[in-house]
Structure 1
């Protein structure tokens, strides 16, 4: 049964006349009559009672009219949804992550998506690995940005084409500020301010403990932090030296603090992760596809 013939049938039922229906459809009357007879033969039922000037639906014709209207309406709705999909996609995308310059990569993707889908909104949540994975697992976030090393075994993920550089933030008038890089020996006798997450990993293994070596436990860690902004305030007040990622806090010429990278250089890769088998909203799905396209382009 052809969909086109269903539309012909509905037009005849509405007009009550094959002649009027043929004029409306811009086809000849003999062509329309033949199509209707073929439909009756295919169904094995008489659909119309014909007279010289009109047609009346039989009981079978009434049933077909009801079902045909349902089919046509569904197809029309589906075509309308697909044709307007790009214009109507809207919704919310929830992204969590630690403080990292790689957020610029995410922001560029968000901007590209927003240009095509201006009704998509973004919600950002800042936290360490523990905070982000907990919210991911509860379904409160669509995506999480994790700084390596991080356990990503239970997630799908993309590698973000960027690296974060570790170093020390200190006051510009501190003794170590004259150095271009900071070595492990420089940190043995100074008060340190460290991220809470690496400190939770110190009794297992992480990049910083490997970098520092066997004297790691001799460090004088006076403060731990969750947000680097707060750590910078502690540094500015003279509490200690903060182990942070580069370009996270203000170390401009107007600031009282400065950044010096570690030597040997210590970098961390980044992943954006999401729950396996997660059913995304239309907005989150569009964002994911844009990330996949953009990041694969950057890696090639």
Structure 2
């Protein structure tokens, strides 16, 4: 199974049309069709269901797409790493980020780093810990930013300078917005939005024996989407302070939880990771930067 063939397969899966995929790949439709039939023969499974004007993935095709995306991304990363070995002014960095206003410290570190390495190119993947940790473990990322203490058996890490404060996003005209702080008793019976990971961890610990009386209306990986649902009156969003616009005209307010709930943020990397030269230099820069800002 060749990487080129997997690229062909992913193009067809993306376009859902053989002729359009052939155009994007700059190959003939005959060549593309031949490669895909060869791939199906190699795997012994039908990967597509062909219709008059479109192509749909079978269940086996969906499985291959998920695996092929990682394999092609890894191949691209390897190629870029070797190209950048002799690049003394830059290279490629791959980072997976959790949501936090503290990402500003990372952004500042990158900006400062680019002064000495102006051709640096960085690639950002956002998501919750489960999503981005999987990519780090597969070698698709150099660094991972997460809002929970990393497993020291697998990772080394640095702590960000501050902590994130948990609270509730509330429509400004809601009676609950009059509260200065939000207790667990205020939340009982209310439709709540939160990331599934935080709901099962931080919020469970914070609520204690009252946890079973809290209602998760829906889970969101991205707080912004949850805030839209909250603004439309579908529920209330539990999230970090500073992630959502709660300015005067936003229609929303943030109220911190009581007792206070905080989460620390960390940037982590695999304990036995082999860094590219640019990633190694960036880590050295991070160590200095994060020490200077307080931790």
Tell me the TM-score normalised to structure 2 length.
Answer: 0.68
Give 3-state SS (helix, strand or coil) of 2:209's partner. Answer: coil
State which structure, 1 or 2, has the greater radius of gyration over its C-alpha atoms. 1
Is the alpha carbon distance of 1:152 and 1:128 closer, same or farther for their aligned partners in structure 2, counting shifts above 3 Å?
A: farther
1:23: which partner in 2?
Answer: none
Alignment map for 1:94-113 (pairs within 5 Å): 94-113=94-113
Q: 2:266 aligns with which of 263, 271, 274?
A: 271
Is the alpha carbon distance of 1:121 and 1:145 closer, same or farther for their aligned partners in structure 2, counting shifts above 3 Å?
A: same
In the aligned structure 1, how far is the partner of 2:106 from the partner of 2:132? Answer: 16
Give 5+ residue unaligned stretches, structure 2: 1-84
Cα deviation for residue 295 of structure 1 reads 1.1
**In the alignment, is residue 216 of structure 1 matched against residue 203 of structure 2?**
no
Cα deviation for residue 149 of structure 1 reads 4.7
Alignment map for 1:4-153 (pairs within 5 Å): 88-153=88-153
In the aligned structure 2, how far is the partner of 1:242 from the partner of 1:252? Answer: 16
In the aligned structure 2, how far is the partner of 1:130 from the partner of 1:152? Answer: 16
**In the alignment, is residue 297 of structure 1 matched against residue 271 of structure 2?**
no
**In the alignment, is residue 236 of structure 1 matched against residue 231 of structure 2?**
yes
Tell me the alpha carbon deviations over residues 142-167 of structure 1, each in whole angstroms, 9 at most, x when there is no partner: 10011025545310111111100000
Is the alpha carbon distance of 1:285 and 1:149 closer, same or farther for their aligned partners in structure 2, counting shifts above 3 Å?
A: closer
Q: Give the number of equivalent residue pairs.
A: 211
In the aligned structure 2, how far is the partner of 1:299 from the partner of 1:237? Answer: 40
Tell me the alpha carbon deviations over residues 32-62 of structure 1, each in whole angstroms, 9 at most, x when there is no partner: xxxxxxxxxxxxxxxxxxxxxxxxxxxxxxx
Alpha-carbon contact 2:89-2:116 (below 8 Å) kept: no
Tell me the alpha carbon deviations over residues 81-140 of structure 1, each in whole angstroms, 9 at most, x when there is no partner: xxxx99833111111111101100101100100111110011111100101110000111
Give 5+ residue unaligned stretches, structure 1: 1-84
1:157: which partner in 2?
Answer: 157
Give 3-state SS (helix, strand or coil) of 1:181's partner. Answer: coil
Alpha-carbon contact 2:165-2:256 (below 8 Å) kept: yes
In the aligned structure 2, how far is the partner of 1:198 from the partner of 1:299? Answer: 26
